[in-house]
Amino acid sequence: MLRLTDIQLPLDHADDAIGAAICAKLGIGATSLRGYTVFRRGYDARKRGAIKLIYTLDVDVMDEVALLARHTEDRHVQPTPDTGYRFVAQAPDALEHRPIVIGTGPCGLFAGLLLAQMGYRPIILDRGKAVRERTVDTWGLWRKRDLNPESNVQFGEGGAGTFSDGKLYSQISDPLHHGRKVLVEFVKAGAPDEILYVSKPHIGTFRLVTMVENMRATIESLGGEIRFTSRVDDVLVENDANGERHVRGVTLASGEQLRADHVVLAIGHSARDTFEMLHERGVYMEAKPFSIGFRVEHPQSIIDRARFGPQAGHPLLGAADYKLVHHGKNGRSVYSFCMCPGGTVVAATSEPGRVVTNGMSQYSRNERNANAAVVVGVEPSDFAPYDNSGSPLAGIALQRHWESRAFELGGGTYEAPAQLVGDFLANRPSHEFGSVQPSYKPGVRLGDLASALPDYAIHAIREALPAFDRQIKGFAMHDAIFTGVETRTSSPLRIKRNERFQSLNTRGLYPAGEGAGYAGGILSAAVDGIRVAEAVALQINAST
């Protein structure tokens, strides 16, 4: 087959326009075209009112070799590449110790799935509950202000991505087609087929719940074992005759010890007590940059009109998103993060006495408001006022400080502090809502967010808002709502690993995903889980 790229057609093209475009591109008659499939469909919205669809097509034609020879100088006509996934290994007949995966977020799920598919029968541990029980606990905070520190937006089956927009796109390099493997497995688990070809696929929370359950069932059918409410409180490490450190298993909160020579750490970016335990055990890690800020809400209709103009509301376009960045005069970068079209702002804390925000959308993206984080980058050099020990955990101290401050400003009831964007820009407290009603549950308390973040962050965000308004008209509208605070944009540390995906100083320990500082989002975390599972399989086979 041939792959044709950059086939451009009007948004409302006729059903037969794709076939006609293929024939025109290749210079063939309709009888020479046997068929085609859409590999990717995106859009170009730079000209509002004249939005184009951009197709990548896999085409079955007669005389393929001759056509390729005729188009050797055209980079948009190439042989269709093989995007199928191939397993790197199969488990040996005798496996002394089963590998352990800690965490059932996207990274842990895919590490466990791949190990199970290769026959290694992994043991997968999660401190939280199965996804439906976890959903009940999560709603307990949102509706009743009742936080379960072990089962919430951050902890439990599916990880933090379960309560999100379910975005499945990333900027990672993927020459081995691991990302395609992720999408194919998601479709098998119940995701809509369109995630295989739309340019910015998403799933939404409700669908993710069922998909996660189906993936669990697949892993168990292949001999894997998944244990919930099984927090890992210690890793067992011993030194060999050469003084090299090796992992030998884990100790659960129950006191049970599990023996293993290969342990995947897919613990997510909020497992702070686990980070502390690993640091105490001497596992090498470093502080790393992350970002902090607020969630902003606008009417989705304003974003749609600003991005799509008169074609706003077209079913192929859906709810519009955006991606914004501003480099401030004080040297800080301000940018939009985790934009959720037609979604809601959610309570995402995992620790008592703290307030954390995140964004979530359903597959339909049909809620009234758009929301996104507006965040400012922080560096390890910013951590000293909160922890001047030089510890790699110092970023956690910064996060906790501002999460506690948000809890205080919200009244100490898990309500979040909020302010109208117009009042934030004018440096005055807010006292009543305008046209935008906040979606955050259990509720917000209006006031002044000037003391909710460091001064450098407040100044940078105030400078960025007019710049963002020039890109999206209405972004700095007076009635838009800021809700604070967003602190869990990424892990505040990196558990460094070598080229074999193992900890720099603890053999057999495989830091992976967002918590270890190697991913940012569902797709990249899942891909990292696949890569780490491959490394585990190759290492097991090399040692048997």
Cis link prior to 334 (omega < 30° from 0)?
A: no
Q: Calculate the average pLDDT of the chain.
A: 96
Task: Output the pLDDT for position 113.
Answer: 98
Alpha-carbon Rg for the chain, nearest whole angstrom, is 25
Q: Does domain 100-285+495-542 have CATH number 3.50.50.60?
A: yes
Q: Is residue 65 a contact partner of residue 87, using CB atoms and an 8 Å limit?
A: no
Task: Output the pLDDT for position 8.
Answer: 97
In whole angstroms, what is the distance from residue 413 CA to residue 416 CA? Answer: 8
- The domain 2-79: what is its CATH number? 3.30.70.2700
C-alpha to C-alpha distances, 527 to 125, 379, 512, 517, 530, nearest whole angstrom: 19, 26, 10, 14, 5
The percent of residues in the chain predicted with pLDDT above 90, rounded, is 92
pLDDT band for position 167 (50/70/90)?
confident
The percent of residues in the chain predicted with pLDDT above 70, rounded, is 100
Task: Output the pLDDT for position 489.
Answer: 96
Task: Output the pLDDT for position 292.
Answer: 98
pTM of the model: 0.95
pLDDT tens profile 119-160: 999 999 999 999 999 999 999 999 999 999 999 999 999 999
Question: Mean pLDDT over residues 260-272, rounded?
Answer: 97
Question: Mean pLDDT over residues 291-297, rounded?
Answer: 98
**Over 90: is that where the pLDDT of 402 sits?**
yes
Task: Output the pLDDT for position 70.
Answer: 94
**Cβ neighbours, 10 Å, residue 331:** 9
Which residues of the chain form CATH 3.30.70.2700? 2-79
Show Cβ contacts of residue 138 under 8 Å, excluding neighbours closer than 6 positions: 151, 152, 153, 156, 163
In whole angstroms, what is the distance from residue 212 CA to residue 157 CA? Answer: 7
In whole angstroms, what is the distance from residue 287 CA to residue 240 CA? Answer: 28
Which residues of the chain form CATH 3.50.50.60? 100-285+495-542
Question: Mean pLDDT over residues 80-97, rounded?
Answer: 93
**Over 90: is that where the pLDDT of 101 sits?**
yes
Q: Is residue 512 a contact partner of residue 114, using CB atoms and an 8 Å limit?
A: no
pLDDT tens profile 491-517: 999 999 999 999 999 999 999 999 999
Name the residue among 406, 145, 431, 130 with its Cα closest to residue 294: 406
Task: Output the pLDDT for position 349.
Answer: 97
pLDDT band for position 480 (50/70/90)?
very high
